[in-house]
Amino acid sequence: MQLLRWLPLIVTLLVAVGCTRSPEAVESGRSSDVPNQPVKRQEPDVRPVIVAFGDSLSEGLGVETGFSFPDQLQKKLDKNGYKYHVINLGVSGDTTTGGLGRLDYALSLKPVILILELGGNDGLRGVPVSSTKANLEKMIVASQQKGVSVLLAGMTLPPNYGPEYVREFESAYKDLAQKYKLRLIPFLMEDILAQLRAQPGLMQRDGIHPTAKGHAIIADTVFRYLQPLIAKS
């Protein structure tokens, strides 16, 4: 497949107004131009929570605020009548070990779905697959014990890591998805890989991270796999 020659390029991304206010107005906490105007209080967001829990791909490294795939997934959910609140807990460079340390906070947000997008940085660092798999399994079990559905985002590695290691790495996600009956995205970047040749603007100049357009494609991918887990209200 000709597109496979782009794989090393793609997977390296895993690494991985107001008015001037008088002193009197400031002291009273209201505008001198609009006296006695009631303060509007923001209503709490009571929509079910979806947490995007991952590394730089979830964080949206290198793109403007509002254009990461979790942000664009939120817009897609809104547009299609799905009333959910997506919270982005992506941390660039994070590993499955780091994810384990952050999981309690993620679960404290009481998500109904956790998009688990970790492991790529483990692979790029040559961490034993058994360790990465064990960490992912702990996060899956802890989430399911809290009644949280997990959407597992699979990863892959450049061919130079050796066919045996790459095969074992990819199989870890498949094995966990099968064992715990999870929805699995075989490779989060699968649709970018398929379109990269025709749309080179999907990647940033560094050749590592997706552009806003690339993140839009990832959002489409995630939405497709997420749909069976969500409901319109």
Task: Give the separation between CA 233 and CA 231, rounded to whole angstroms.
Answer: 6
- Note whether residue 28 is domain-resident: no
Q: Indicate the range of 31-45, 175-189, 206-220 predicted with least confidence.
A: 31-45
- Note whether residue 174 is domain-resident: yes
Number of H helices, E strands in the chain: 10, 5
Based on C-alpha coordinates, what's the Rg of the chain?
Answer: 21
For 102-131, what is each residue's pLDDT tens digit?
Answer: 999 999 999 999 999 999 999 999 999 999
Position 58 confidence tier, pLDDT thresholds 50, 70, 90: very high
For residue 219, give its domain range: 46-226
Number of domains the chain is built from: 1
Which letter does DSSP use for residue 202 in this model? G
Task: Give the separation between CA 3 and CA 191, rounded to whole angstroms.
Answer: 11
- Note whether residue 221 is domain-resident: yes
Task: Identify the helix (H) or strand (E) that includes residue 217.
Answer: helix 212-226
- Note whether residue 19 is domain-resident: no
Q: Is the pTM above the cut of 0.85? A: no
Q: Write the DSSP assignment of 65-105 as a string of letters.
A: TT-SHHHHHHHHHHHTT---EEEE---TT--HHHHHHHHHH
Task: Give the separation between CA 31 and CA 52, rounded to whole angstroms.
Answer: 39
DSSP 3-state assignment of 167? Answer: helix
Catalytic residue among 56, 58, 68, 143: 56
Catalytic residue among 55, 143, 209, 215: 209
Catalytic residue among 22, 130, 131, 206: 206
Instruction: Give catalytic status of residue 68 as yes or no.
Output: no
Provide the token pair at 70.
């979790």
Amino acid at 151: L
Instruction: Give catalytic status of residue 215 as yes or no.
Output: no
For 125-157, what is each residue's pLDDT tens digit?
Answer: 999 999 999 999 999 999 999 999 999 999 999
- Note whether residue 39 is domain-resident: no
Task: Give the separation between CA 39 and CA 57, rounded to whole angstroms.
Answer: 38
- Note whether residue 38 is domain-resident: no
Instruction: Give catalytic status of residue 206 as yes or no.
Output: yes
Distances (CA, A) of 174 to 182, 199, 217: 9, 29, 22
| CATH number of 136's domain | 3.40.50.1110
- Note whether residue 25 is domain-resident: no
Instruction: Name residue, tokens 């040749």.
Output: 197
- Note whether residue 30 is domain-resident: no
Task: Give the separation between CA 32 and CA 25, rounded to whole angstroms.
Answer: 5
